Structures are given as C-alpha cells and as structure tokens.
Amino acid sequence: MFTTAKMKRNSSLFRILRIQLFLLTIVQFQACATAPDPQENTLFGTDDFSVRRADPERLTRLFNDFITSVYVAPADQKQALVDSFLQWADSATGIPYIENTTAYFLYINGASHEVRVAGDFTDWNPTNQNLTHLSGTNLYYAGYQFENDARLDYKIVVNSNWIVDPLNPNTCSGGYGPNSELSMPGYIQPPEIESYEIPHGSLHSTTFSDTTQGRTRSVKIYMPPGYDEGNESYRSVYFHDGSEQISLAYTENILDYMISQELIPPLIAIFVDPINRMEEYSYDYDFMDMFVNELVPWIDGQYRTMPEAENRAVAGVSLGGLASLLFTIQHPDIFGNCGAFSSAIWFGDIIDQYDASQVLPVKIYMDAGTYEPSSYNSSMSLKAILDDDVWDLHWRQWHEGHSWGAWRAHLDEALIYF
C-alpha cells in the first residue's frame, strides 16, 4: 500500500510539474501563439439550434488539464497557474477562451460572489447559468458549445449587477447600451462597417411635419459621393429607426464602402425616426398613410430620386421589419423592395395578409437568427408561404441573436439583392 500510494503521489506531482512547465512555456512564447484553426462543427447535426452547456465529458483536453492541474496543485501554486493560463488564453484566442466549438466564459474576482452569464444564448435570463468557482483561486468559469460561425451578445452578472465582460475588449452597442461580443472562429467580421479613406457621402439632418397625424419628426438623408456635382437620379432606401440605423448599424459607413467597391450603385438613403415606436410600427395605418402619401412625395420633390417602386426600398429591424413588410404588401406600387431583419412577424396578422395575397412584383429580403426564437420561428412560417407561392424572396438565417451586431453585418446582402 505504501508503494502504491507513493507512486500515485509521484504521478500527481509529475502531472502538476508538466502543466506548470507548459503554462510557463506558453507564457514565455505567447507572442508567437496563434488562435487555433477554425474547426468544422459536428456537434449540431439537426435543425435544433438550442444551446446547451458544454458536456464535461466532451470538453477538449487543454482546458480540462488546466482545471485538473489547479485542483491537485498545492495551495500556494494554484493562483499562479490561473494567472499563467489567463495570459496565454488571452493571447491565443482572446476571452472567452475558445477550443473548437466550446467557449469558456472566465471571470476574475477575489470575493465570494455569485457569478452568472446571460446573453442571446440564454434568452438573456441568468437563472441557472452560474459560473463555477475554482477553489483556492479568484477564477470563475463556465463552458458552452456553439456553432463555429456564431456571433452573440452577452453580459456577466455578478450578484445582481450586469456588466460587460472585463476580460473581453470586444463589445457591441445596442439600444440599452454596450454588450460584450462573442464571435466563434468561423465568424467573419464585416469590413463594411468600418470607416476608410474613400469617397464619403453627405448626411443632411432635417425635420418633416405631416398633416395626416400632425407630427414633426427627425429625418436624415444620405446623399452619395458626387451628388452635388451631377444631375442624375438615384435609387432610394427608407430606413425605420433612422438614428439608430446610423449610430448602431453604421449604415453611413456601409453605404460609403459598398458604393466605393462598386457592390451597389450610388443611392439616396432616408433615415426616419419614430415618434412613438411601439404605436407607429404596430399596424398603425395612419402612420403608413402619412409615410406613403406625404413623406415619400416630399423626398421625391426635394431630391433626385427615381420614382418607380422597383427603385425604392423600405427596410427595418424587429418591429421596423414588421412595418416594412406591412408597407410592402399594402403599397407595392410605392415600395418594390423590402428589407425585413429579425422581424416581429409573430405579432399581428402579417402572415395572414401575405397568405391571402396574390404574388406581388416585389423583392423581399428576410432574415432571422437562430438565437431569437420568436422572430426565427415566425419568420420561418412566413418564409414557407412565400416559398410555396414563389415570391421573389432572399432568405438568410444566422447563428446570432436579436442584435444590432447581426443587423449591421447583413445589411450588405439586402442592398445587393435589391
């Protein structure tokens, strides 16, 4: 028994030394470390896109070895192992630390707190999403499995305090402030949202007062590079949630980039702010009549727009996507193109309206993320109707949530389709 126990003890010590040597080595040469190659996702073989906590038996070996080494290490060595691993993980993949299809959310706190994570993948509910405290250290951790091309928003919840991940510099701004961003290895960041030294369009801010509802609202108009020097007419795109479409989706940058790269012809964009968003975007036919009968003619009179429906689009996200679908089916003579991003199709009778309609001469771009079940499931229901009736539909689904990070990344596909 003494010999067996001694052998086990020596084996454990050897394992600790091996892990420690590994961590010290990778920290020493961390400047040479690179993220692992993207791996093909074989964990999700069905159409069930629900997310589950990573199965401990399927966790990849490196992180498991790290956790095991800390458990068996002497008390005065545990924190050093954590510090070394965090340095390496940050340089190798960033935080969250990623191995194949598993992302590890890591949080450092010396006090004994309840630490949880909430995001697109938990429906923003932190219940039962606790991070495990690694005994004898200041590290909390949890592993989740995602598709290889997933991009998701999240926050760390410490007790009842919701914060961006302090170990992750990548954030995505939304209507309620910034969230931390997780992008898996197969996700491609959209280059078009950045600002470059290329010709830029001009943005003109004004107000528009209508007689239908007696309201005055903010409107911004994007004019493409060279607009003032020529006399040609342009296609036009009307965006709901206008100011957020500029500030959160970087649409001005997207238009500049796509025009400069000749991905789309130059166009005029009209960014229209709501006054009462919930009311106006929820089957408000007075708002729609004002838009169609007053705002569009006013824009056509002030700017060199092509007046045909096939040269005019309306687009929006969430409730704005619902409003865009409504405008299109009610007024195909005005809007021949529709962009419906993560639309609130589950609300009201928009599916029934399209089901009862004859096929109209319009183009519809529609998308949804698999991490926004209400929008995704209802969009799939409408898609089935449009496919069966052979509408001109361009459908896309993404492993993303209900986020401006998703909408800004996929606007280019809608513009190219139009």
pLDDT digits (tens, 9 = 90+) for 251-307: 999 999 999 999 999 999 999 999 999 999 999 999 999 999 999 999 999 999 999
pLDDT digits (tens, 9 = 90+) for 124-161: 999 999 999 999 999 999 999 999 999 999 999 999 89
Q: Band of the pLDDT at 64, cuts 50, 70, 90?
A: confident
Listed residue (418, 417, 411, 258) closest to 336, CA to CA: 418
Q: What are phi and psi of 203, to 5 degrees?
A: -115, 120
CATH domain 191-417 topology: Rossmann fold (3.40.50)
Query: Around 270, how many Cα atoms within 13 Å sit in the side-chain half-sphere?
Result: 26
Report the pLDDT value the prediction gives residue 35, as an integer from 0 to 100.
Answer: 30
Assess whether pLDDT exceeds 70 at residue 186: yes
Q: Rounded to whole angstroms, what are the CA distances from 264 to 95, 238, 253, 268, 334?
A: 36, 16, 14, 12, 21
Report the pLDDT value the prediction gives residue 60, as an integer from 0 to 100.
Answer: 53
Residue 38: DSSP 8-state: P
Angle between helix axes 61-72 and 75-92 (nearest 10 degrees) is 160
Angle between helix axes 2-28 and 61-72 (nearest 10 degrees) is 120
- Give Dmax over CA atoms of the chain in angstroms: 95
For residues 254 and 171, what is the distance between their CA atoms, to the nearest angstrom? 19
Report the pLDDT value the prediction gives residue 113, as an integer from 0 to 100.
Answer: 80
Domain span(s) for CATH 3.40.50.1820 in the chain: 191-417
Burial class (CB in 10 A: 0-12, 13-18, 19+), 225: middle
Q: Which two tokens stand for residue 395?
A: 């459908």
- How confident is the model over 215-244, as a mean pLDDT? 96
Q: What single letter denotes the amino acid at residue 201?
A: G
**pTM of the shown model:** 0.84
- 2-183 CATH, one of 2.60.40.2550, 2.60.40.10, 1.10.3720.10, 3.20.20.70: 2.60.40.10
For a pLDDT cut of 90, what percent of the chain falls above it?
Answer: 81
Q: Rounded to whole angstroms, what are the CA distances from 68 to 3, 23, 72, 75, 132?
A: 24, 13, 6, 13, 14
**Core vs surface per residue 292-324: b (16+ CB within 10 A) or e:** bebbbeebeeebebbeebebbbbbbbbbbbbbb
